[in-house]
Structure 1
Amino acid sequence: MEQPQLDRKPPWLRAKIPGGAAYNEIRGIVRSYNLHTVCESALCPNIGECWSRRTATLMILGDRCTRSCRFCAVTTAKPLPVNYEEPKNVALAIKAMGLKYAVITSVARDDLKDGGAEIWAQTIKEVRALNPETKIEVLIPDFRGNMKSLLTVLEARPDVLNHNVETVPRLQKRVRPQARYERSLEILKRAAQEGFPTKTGLMLGIGETTGEIESTLVDLYGIGVRILTLGQYLRPSKDHLPIDRWVSPEEFNAWKAFALKMGFHHVESGPLVRSSYHADEYIGIGKEVLL
């Protein structure tokens, strides 16, 4: 049972209420191309802010995930058949939004032999063809450790490769039972070895200790990750894992300073930070800095 003081969100977790002309325009574009966003499917608290800034994280391969992570609001169900028009529609939507920096993610598709890697590659190619000046960040699943699938994605040349470890090693099985910490590290390590700016994210407030956070950051830096996001875990429903604690803005600032001192090149750390939060700010960072 959660402690009483965790029943109500602290004042620093107040997010912008969705609405306004830009928000409605982005929603209209997403609907018109029959696309999904992680902003909606994962109940992101920043949807009001981000859509008002004309940014959104598009989610490919449907909105039904084959995994049952206990922190995530995305629906776990048998996926629908692959929509082979989706890559082109993503490219058209990004053009309509006028994005200079696009973040694309997907559900896990363990039902597909390649985990959806070919659709990933085709999406990157279509976006690049229609939006040659747009930087592309891909937030990928682990493809069950299939390095051939990872290389399929990398051969399409995204600008940033993102894969979230989500939490510290001890909590992996509890938080994301079908994933493996070591598998995620291998995905990130291989991407860094292939020369791609590599990014990952952690949730805080789900039961980790200070020492575990430190050792996880050491692991991540050691395999070549140079872009990091740290945010507060928010429980999507009573069926999901309980919140262990509210992490203060001051602690998030301290972790940012710690990570930058370690050598990470870019760190977003704060209660409302999510994986693609302010990702467009990387536009001004040269590849030689991110690597």
Structure 2
Amino acid sequence: MSSKQHERKPEWLKIKLETGDNFKEIKNMMRSRTLHTVCEEARCPNLHECWANRTATFMILGDICTRACRFCAVKTGRPTELDLQEPGRVAEAAEQMNLQHCVITSVARDDLEDGGASVFAATIREVREKLPLCSIEVLIPDFMGNEDALRTVLEAKPAVLNHNVETVERLSDTVRAKAKYDRTMNLLARSKQIAPTIPTKSSIMVGVGEEWDEILKTMDDLRKVDCNIMTIGQYLQPGHKYLKVHKYYTPEEFKLLKEEGMKRGFSHVESGPLVRSSYHAHEQVKAANETIAAGITK
């Protein structure tokens, strides 16, 4: 498909902008506490909808990533600081928002020995202290395969452990920087071995040149490591220097992908053009927990 063909986005990718009181309040709160959100940094298309509904995904460990993935708009470079007060500020913001489900992610911090795992754990603990009934989901980097770092996060007992595969195996080295397809699968497998009752989740974006059968194989690979939740969304090029869009999938195709995922035994599949990893995250937890509990009691 030529660049001219995919300059105009399909009608179903139109984004509704919400700038009401909730949106403004959350934006001001994030600025006043010097907090970052992946909603802004990654230019998420659902930012206005989620913020209007008082939900946000906190991005810890700064806003400079040590990797330069070809699909991601987050700034890349060499981080210069580590803010150990950040977990407390995230917890205060979560409390002010009175969150029922809190999502915490980060940039990749390959400059740190544990990849930032200890800060993830501290943030989980701080949020739980402020909001004991809030479920906490973490979307973690791969920690370069450091199992001790993964264990550090899991010992803090998040409600969901999320790590994104992002794309199919054939395109992984092209789309992602440093991350490896096998390492992702191994991380998800090890997570279940360390903490079998914590649901795992992963996400794939489509439209970067993958084939339909490759998407189905990725689903199969995720189920082999007992991944519980999968999200599937359309890749949107955030700027001219990033990967080109090869194809815009239709809502009907996303519906078929959801059906394929559910047939394979995922407890929940969120699939749609504007779906991102944390989209409607709070609605996915209950199904995953029920599925895991049912499996353990059999």
Q: Same fold (TM over 0.5)?
A: yes
Query: How much has 1:283 moved relative to structure 2?
Result: 4.9
Q: Which residue of 1 aligns with 2:51?
A: 51
Matched, 1:267 2:255: no
Give how far 1:286 is off. Answer: 6.1
Map 1:208-219 onto structure 2 (within 5 A): 208-219=210-221
Q: TM-score, normalised by structure 2?
A: 0.95
1:1-291 equivalent positions in 2, closer than 5 A? 2-193=2-193, 194-195=195-196, 196-285=198-287, 287-290=289-292
Contact 1:2-1:243 within 8 A present in 2 as well: no
Unaligned ranges ≥5, structure 1: none
State the distance in 1 between where 2:223 and 2:272 align.
20
- Per-residue CA deviation, residues 58-108 of structure 1 (Å, 9 max, x unaligned), is 000000000000000000011131001100001000001111000010000
SS of alignment partner, residue 282 of structure 2 = helix
Q: What is the CA-CA distance between 1:29 and the residue it aligns to?
A: 1.6
Would you say the 8 A contact 2:63–2:74 is kept in 1? yes
C-alpha spacing 1:92/1:205, structure 2 compared with 1 (3 Å):
same
Describe the SS at the equivalent of 2:124. helix
Judge conservation of contact 2:65–2:76 (CA < 8 Å) in 1.
yes
Contact (CA 8 Å) 2:203, 2:277: kept in 1 or not? yes
Please state how far the C-alpha of 1:203 moved relative to its aligned partner: 0.3
* Long gaps (5+) in structure 2: 294-298
CA change 1:22–1:290 in 2 (3 A) is: farther
Displacement, 1:32?
A: 1.8
Please, what is the CA RMSD of the aligned residues? 1.2
**Which deviations, in whole Å up to 9, do the C-alpha atoms of 1:245-276 show, x marking residues without a partner?**
00000000000001101111101000000000
Query: Aligned equivalents of 1:284 and 1:179: distance in 2?
Result: 30
SS in 2 for 1:129: helix
Within 2, Cα distance between the matches of 1:286 and 1:67?
31
Residue-by-residue CA offset, 1:29-62 (whole Å, 9 max, x unaligned): 2112110000000000000100011000000000
**Alpha-carbon displacement from aligned partner over 1:148-177 (angstroms, at most 9, x marks no partner):** 000000000000000000000000110003
Query: Which whole-Å CA distance do the structure 2 matches of 1:257 and 1:90 have between them?
Result: 36
Letter in 2 for 1:233: Y
Equivalent position amino acid for 1:93 in 2? A
CA distance in 1, matches of 2:59, 2:26: 14
Deviation at 1:232, TM superposition (A): 0.1
CA distance in 1, matches of 2:199, 2:285: 12
Question: What secondary structure does 2:137 align onto?
Answer: strand
C-alpha distance in structure 2 between counterparts of 1:163 and 1:89, whole Å: 24
What is the CA–CA distance in structure 1 between the aligned matches of 2:290 and 2:251, rounded to whole Å? 30
Deviations 1:200-254 (A, max 9, x none): 0000000000111111110001101010000000001110000000000000000
Identify the range of structure 1 (103-112 vs 78-87) with the bigger mean alpha-carbon deviation: 78-87
Identical-pair percentage: 53
Matched residue pairs, number? 291
Instruction: Please tell me whether the aligned partners of residues 205 and 232 of structure 1 are also in contact (alpha carbons under 8 angstroms).
Output: yes
**Contact 2:229–2:288 (8 Å) recurs in 1:** no
TM-score normalised by structure 1 residue count = 0.98
Shift of 1:28: 1.5
Mapped contact 2:18–2:48 kept (Cα < 8 A): yes
